[in-house]
Amino acid sequence: MPPHVNLLIIDSDKASRETIEATLKPYADTIKIIGSVATFSEAALSIQRVEPNVIILELADIQQGADYIRLLLSRHPRTSIIVSSVEKSSEWILTAMRAGAVEYLLRPIIQQELLQALQKVGRFGFAKPVEEKQRGKIISVYYPIGGVGTTTLAVNLAASLATEGAKVALVDLNLFSGDISTFLDVNPTYTLSSVTTNIARLDANFLMTVMTRHSSGPFVLTEPVEVDEAISITPEQILRILEFLRGIFTYVIVDCGGALADCNLAIFESSNTILFTTALSLPALKNTKRYLVAMERRGFHKDRLKLIVNRYLPKADIQIKDAEKVLGYSVFQTIPNCYDDVINSINKGMPVVKLLPRSPVSKSIEALADMVK
């Protein structure tokens, strides 16, 4: 059967064009590359011969790129345009999407992301399915009150999981005291409330436009800026957001805290794994015991609840075996107490697993990442 999708590549970088061509070569029975050119003017010649179903367009200048998108769509309204750019700002993404692009890929283009983008176009199926894998895993990191390092763990776990090319989301659902933006030194234009206030138009494309990709790898959705915004967020909105995220990402890491009610229960219902994070102190263990019992009563059992001991000191007065006896849980992983390394990473806005990969903290979190995959 002849190819039934005509695809055009417009990209000034020859190596990038070759990468796209190599990625699509196994699908030659489905996709025909009608042109692979460096400039928009060269593309016009290819389009004159055969109308493309899909165009992969490099964006180097957002205003010019948006004009190109609008011009292409005015002449070929049925064509789907996927753009790629080194620029990861929300303004560029939104401008491209508003002009009519259906997907926005960061450069260098990752092969899996390109295949997923093409399949999302919805015009064809691949001879070799790219989405046979299960939906993404949601891993929540929780302690009811602050002070035990849930954000440190969530940020570094997300960065660890993103190192092997997996597509990872990091979401701050600690609605009233979230701190991911501070830990990663980001000040995004759009936050969680940008999603919840536009919940009616929520889809994969919209979610990607409001998320910020951090240099450490994860795509980040930060906490609401205002308390009033957090108050208005509902469990139903949380469930819907997480369901979309798990359809896009390999892993979704959620930082959460607060009462065992409402939005937190929605998070836990959606989670494949709940990393209950605590410390080896009497107050922390007492609180941990109360909440673990309450969570089990609500149906969150040991197959999903995993106990993490943060700031672990081997010679502390309270030992791991003591905590396990009191709590009735085996400790899933310990994170050593390396205060200076962690503070240094926070001050620099870079996860410790990236900044100081040889730190004992980094090694323990890398091991945890392997355990939750």
What pLDDT, in 10s, does the model give residues 265-314? 999 999 999 999 999 999 999 999 999 999 999 999 999 999 999 999 99
Are residues 328 and 273 part of one domain?
A: yes
Are residues 77 and 107 part of one domain?
A: yes
Q: Is the pLDDT of residue 150 over 80?
A: yes
Report the pLDDT value the prediction gives residue 168, as an integer from 0 to 100.
95
Are residues 42 and 166 part of one domain?
A: no
Are residues 114 and 144 part of one domain?
A: no
Provide the whole-model pTM.
0.66
The CATH number of whichever domain residue 361 belongs to comes to 3.40.50.300
Residues 29-68: tens digit of each pLDDT: 888 999 999 998 899 888 888 889 999 999 999 999 999 9
Mean pLDDT score, 166-182: 92
- Structural domains counted in the chain: 2
Full domain range(s) for residue 19:
5-121
Give burial (CB, 10 Å; 0-12/13-18/19+) of 75: exposed
Task: Calculate the average pLDDT of the chain.
Answer: 89
Are residues 200 and 109 part of one domain?
A: no
In a domain, 127, yes or no: no
Q: Is the pLDDT of residue 124 over 90?
A: no
Are residues 142 and 73 part of one domain?
A: no
Are residues 223 and 116 part of one domain?
A: no
Are residues 243 and 188 part of one domain?
A: yes
In a domain, 129, yes or no: no
In a domain, 163, yes or no: yes
Report the pLDDT value the prediction gives residue 77, as an integer from 0 to 100.
83
In a domain, 160, yes or no: yes
Q: Is the pLDDT of residue 86 over 90?
A: yes
Q: Looking at the chain, how many residues does it have?
A: 373
Dihedral sign computed on CA atoms, order 89, 91, 93, 96 = negative
Are residues 206 and 77 part of one domain?
A: no
Mean pLDDT score, 349-366: 96
Residues 198-207: tens digit of each pLDDT: 887 777 777 8
Q: What letter represents residue 225's amino acid?
A: V
Are residues 202 and 297 part of one domain?
A: yes
The CATH number of whichever domain residue 116 belongs to comes to 3.40.50.2300
Contacts of 315 (CB under 8 A, 6+ apart): none
Are residues 296 and 172 part of one domain?
A: yes
In a domain, 70, yes or no: yes
**Tokens linked to 111:** 């092969």
Are residues 157 and 19 part of one domain?
A: no
| Window from 21-25, 112-116, 154-158, 363-367 with minimum mean pLDDT | 112-116
Q: Which of 87, 121, 155 is the last residue of a domain?
A: 121
